[in-house]
Each structure stands twice: as C-alpha cells, then as structure tokens.
Chain A
Amino acid sequence: MSARPAQETERAPEPAGLEREHDPGAFLDAYARMVLIREFEQAIHRLFLKGEVHGTTHLSAGQEAVPVGVCMALDADDYVSGTYRGHGHALAKGTAPEALAAEMLGRASGVCGGRAGSMNVVDLEHGLVGCFGIVGGSIAAATGAALSARRQGRVSVAFFGDGATNQAYFHECLNFARVLELPVVYVCENNFYGEFTPMENVTAGGEIAARAGAYKIPFTVVDGNDLWAVRDAATEAVERARSEGGPTLLECQTYRHYGHSKSDPAKYRPDDELERWLARDPLTIARERLLADGIGEDEVTAVETEGREEMERATQAALAAPYPDPRERPGSEFSG
C-alpha cells in the first residue's frame, strides 16, 4: 500500500443505495429535537442559577445540529457515547427530557436515579453507552461498542470535542478501529475551544480531520451548524460502517454559545466572535431551510411551541420529583 494524499481519502466512493433526497418531514422532526435541546440547555442554565442543579454543568447550546444530524442517520438500536457536554447527545439519541432533567436535578426519577448527574449520564435502553467526564473516554467506549455492534449488525458513534483529539484515547482508538475494521463513526465536535484555550494553540498542525488520514480512515470536515450537512455526512459514514467499510472521522465545526461550564463567563473570546456564530445559529439555519423547503411557518412555529411546552412540563415534573433516599436504595457495589 502506498501513501495516498488526504484529499483522496476524504471522499470515499459513495456506498450503493445511499439515498440523498431530503424528506422535509424528517427534518422538521429533527428540528423539533434541536429546539428541545436548546430549551433544555436554557432551562438547565436557569435552574443552575436557582441552585437546583448542583456542582457544574456544561451546556451545548449552539452545537445542536451535530448530535441531531448524526442520530438521524442511526437506528434506534445503534450505540452512541457522549461527553460531559452530553445533554444533546442523550436527547438526540432518545433519552426522555423529563428523565434527563430530573437527573440534572439529582432526583430519584432521573435517568440514572440521581447517581450520575450532568456529566456521566448512561441510558442503555436508548443505546447511550455513557457520557464521560474524562476527556476522550467516549472515544474508547464507542470503539468497544463497535466490537459488539459488528456482531449485532449495528453501528457505534463516539461524540467528543476538539480537545479530546490530543488524548491517547483518540490516537489509540482510531488505529485500533482501522486495524480491526470496526463499524464506528468518530464525531468530533470542534467548537474551537478546550475550556479556555483556543484549539489552534494546542493542536499541532491545526487540523483535526486530517489526523485520520494517517490511519487511512476516511474523514470529512462538516459545517456542524448545518443540520443537512451533518446528516448527509453521517449517513455516508454510517452506511460505510454498516457495509463493513470500517471507521470514519467527521469533524463537525461548531460553537458553544455559553462558556465552557457554569463558572466560565468566556471572556477569552475575541470581540464579535460570539456574534458571528450567533448569526449562524444552527436553529436559525434549520428554520430558514425548512421554510425554503416548503414547510409552513405555522408548522415550524407549532414545533417550537411544543418544544418549549414539553421542556416546561419536563422541568416541572422533575422539580416535583423526590430526591433519592440513600436508606431506601443505598446501591450495591456489584451486579449479581
């Protein structure tokens, strides 16, 4: 095998049978999920300020198109792993907003009974293998899930940030997945910061997607604020994985509207940066595209109203739920 230039690996031949026509109804549903995630993050932000969410929390507002677009390409029984900035990962894969909100609030009705909190959500029923508070952990979890997925006819997806691509997890797992031809899609949410440090200051070469080229893994740089672009790239990658074509890396470029975590006012951002990204808000882009594709304004507005109301109901239900009683259910160290 001779080395190929990166461009050649970037566009692998399209798998047969890939349908690219866009069903506006599916995108309206996806837009509804994006709205729900945005509402969720805003609600969690408010609840944090009220002292109802404890410790810390990492909001993903601004990045919604990535998990939603990727999950459009997945089946319900496919696997995903997410990060501490993982509310969107869970909601996009199907976790109920009420169960997720209750988890943030530390309530017994939380998806993990209040044991996980914001950073470590697991929802196996919906194929969410875990969210990891350790930068890079999600990459390995999805790589391993792909070992099962290969035997089960499924696909596995890892979500992780730009900062995680400097972890051993990233490099070891990409190599591992190529060597073993695992059905896994690596989705880097490049929001251009790891905490307060600009990506380019700590990323040799300045490019993330191209790193996959060294492992002969097909890669694409995607406009992560464009739901359609994410969905298309993910569909291609998922088809490749399902047809025994092995792993893909998608670098989805996006931006978080809030600071890194609740304690970060994000003063390190250059003037206008946030404004420029707000002008490319993934929700605005999706809304305009839906209208352009012939969805009625009333339908779009209805979806937005429903998202707001659903989140409001979820919040109220979560707030009304009891805290877990440590005496009633202390928990066991081991299964079985």
Chain B
Amino acid sequence: MSELEFRVAIRDALAEELERDESVLFFGEDVAAEQGGVFAVTPGLQERFGANRVFDTPISELALAGAAFGAAATGTRPVIEIMFGDFMALPMDSLVNQAAKLWFVSNEQGSAPLVIRSAVGAGGRFGAMHSQNPGTWLQGIPGLKVVAPSSPADAKGLLKSAIRDDNPVIFLEHKRLYSIKGPEPDSETVPLEEAAVVREGGDLTIVSISKGVRDALQAADTLAGDGLEIEVIDLRALRPLDLATVLTSVAKTNRVLAVEEGPRVGGWATGLLGSIAEQGLHDLDDAWIVATEETPIPYSPSLEDEFLPNAETIVESVRARLRTGVETGA
C-alpha cells in the first residue's frame, strides 16, 4: 500500500479543492514561490492554477486575514497561510471580530468560509517565537473552528472538509509532522466535528490532538508491555469540541489523561478535564494532565527536550500515576 507524506497530503488537498471549486483561492507569504513556502508544502500550485488564484502577498498578516474575511463574505473561498502559528497574534482582530462573528451577528445572512493554515508546534529548535501552539488562544472564540490533524490521511481529509465548510476554520499543521508518512485516506473528507478513537483500550483514556496523538500512540505501545490497555482519542478539533466521544470513553476506562503541548493554566486540556468533571464525574476515578512548564518555549536542545511532552514523559507519568494514585506534578 502506498504511503502518503503529511506535507503532500496537504498539497494534494489544496490542489484537489482548487480544481474542484473555482471560488477557492490560496494566498500567503512565499506560498507561490518556487519553494512553496518555508516548509515546502505548496510548490507548483501557482504554476498549475495561475497567479489569479494562487499568489504571494506582502508580509502583512492583518491584511491577509482581513482580505480573506472580506473575500469570504462576498462569494470567494480563500485559503490563506500564516507562516508560523506564533504570527497568529497579528491577524487576531480580523479572526476574532470579523470572521468569527459574521454568521451570528448578521442574523445568519451569510458566513465567512475561509481557512487559515499555519505551521505550529515546538521541537525544531525554533525558539520562543516560532514554536507555539495557538490552538488554545483560539479555542474560546465562538464561530471559529480550530482543527489540527495528527496523520497524513486526516490532514488531507480534514483540510478538504475545512475548505468546503461554510465557517472560518483555523487549520494547524504541526511542524514535526510534515515529514511523516502514513496510509492514504480511505474517504474523500473527514468531518471536522468528530473526535477519533485511534486505539481502543479499557484501562485509561489518553486524549490529545496533533503531534500529541502520535506521542500517545507510541506511549500506549510501550505501556501495553506493562499490561495496560490504553484508549487513545484524537480530538481532531479543539472547537467544536467532541466531548461526547471523550465522555463515552471515560465511562468505559474511568481514567483520563490529557496531553497538551502548551501550558496547563488556561490550556485546552485543563478545560477538557473541567468539562469531564462537570458532565462525567460519576464515571471518573482519576484525571490528570501532561503539559509544559509555564514559561515561553526555550531554544537549547537540552532545554526544549525537557520542556516538551513526548512518548517517554507520557509513559513515565502514566506509570507513576497508576502506581501511586497521586498527582505527579507538572
């Protein structure tokens, strides 16, 4: 069976949607250049679809997002790229006050069908301003969908769904995933609002998203050697949040660990545990989080490696927690 590379999955999804629907445009910084962006995701698209539909823009993230909004409100389906997730602070006004609000505030006259792709996540020694995960910043905004795939097949299917969706979708691509390979998708699209149970087990539920899902799957393999059956849930989207799938799993396993590549305070994992407590307390024997320190992301390999959750830290945390039954700390 042929294997699909994550970055190619994204390129293919874009190309297929540009092909399928004339109203789709794709623009951003350096995306049309020969290299196809700094992560070489989109080479060849301008050659194929022309400079009217795929083009480079000035380094103006606010104008980029604002232009996407105005275009989306008037019959176009723009896909834009914000080069690094950290830069998402700049277009925030347009995302929060324009794109996210059009549908509701206009009394449902229309919506803003746009997609913002962005490379996120740490582990590449990019330092504090090129490594963050803005998913949590954006999770609390009604009207925005926040999606982050964990596999090539999902990257393709979710991006296609995002482009076809009538709402603004933030599509977060983890840099550490771009070069991974995986099976081709078995369906044309993947729904944005359904979490996936990517491994079944009865002893503990591990919930994560994006690269964290791969770490959790790896950890589950190791823990199987301890005799533990781990269920792994890929949220796929932070908003809308598929709490039902998580609650169903917790009802079975009675224990949940949420793994977030980001700080615990104000993070999506903390919020998720709150919701599980609120709606599933009777099913719950234990609930905890593996997250990062409450500092900016450090640069040096020794510091960054210590800072980030990974398969090993998940394994250690599960072993410590299930053995002692007490909080193991951050």
Contact = CB atoms under 8 A, between A and B. Distances in A.
A173 B74 contact: no
Interface string A130-174: 101110010111111111110110001000000000001100110
Interface string B70-107: 11111110100000000000000110011001111111
A144 B109 contact: no
Interface in B141-176: 142-143, 145, 165-167
A25 interface: no
Interface in A46-83: 79, 81
B78 to A, nearest CB: 7
B98 A137 contact: yes
Interface size class of B (residues with CB under 8 A): 35 or more
A169 B98 CA distance: 13
Interface of B: 25, 52, 55, 57-58, 60, 62-76, 78, 93-94, 97-98, 101-111, 142-143, 145, 165-167, 240
Contacts, number: 156
B72 A144 contact: yes
Contacts of A129: 70, 73-74
A334 B70 contact: no
21 contacts: A110-B107, A112-B106, A115-B105, A120-B105, A130-B102, A139-B66, A140-B67, A140-B69, A143-B70, A144-B66, A145-B71, A147-B78, A148-B74, A169-B63, A173-B67, A176-B58, A176-B64, A333-B104, A333-B143, A333-B240, A335-B108
B105 A112 contact: yes
A112 B104 CA distance: 9
B58 A156 contact: no
Interface of A: 79, 81, 110-116, 120, 122-125, 129-130, 132-134, 137, 139-149, 151-152, 156, 168-169, 172-173, 175-176, 179-180, 331-336
Nearest to B59: A172
A137 B66 contact: yes
A175 B60 contact: yes
B167 A141 contact: no
A111 B110 CA distance: 13
Nearest to A113: B107
A147 B71 contact: yes
Given A129-B73, A140-B98, A148-B76, A335 B166 contact: yes
A100 B212 CA distance: 49
Contacts of A141: 66, 69-70, 73, 98
Contact of B76 (A111, A120, A151, A331): A151
- Which residue among B66, B94, B143 has the maximum number of chain A CB atoms within 10 Å of its CB? B66
A144 B107 contact: no
Contacts of B111: 334-336
Most chain B beta-carbon contacts within 10 A, residue among A81, A137, A152, A332: A137
Given A124-B110, A141-B98, A180-B55, A116 B76 contact: no
A134 B70 contact: no
A334 B112 CA distance: 10
B105 A144 contact: no
A173 B102 contact: no
A336 to B, nearest CB: 5
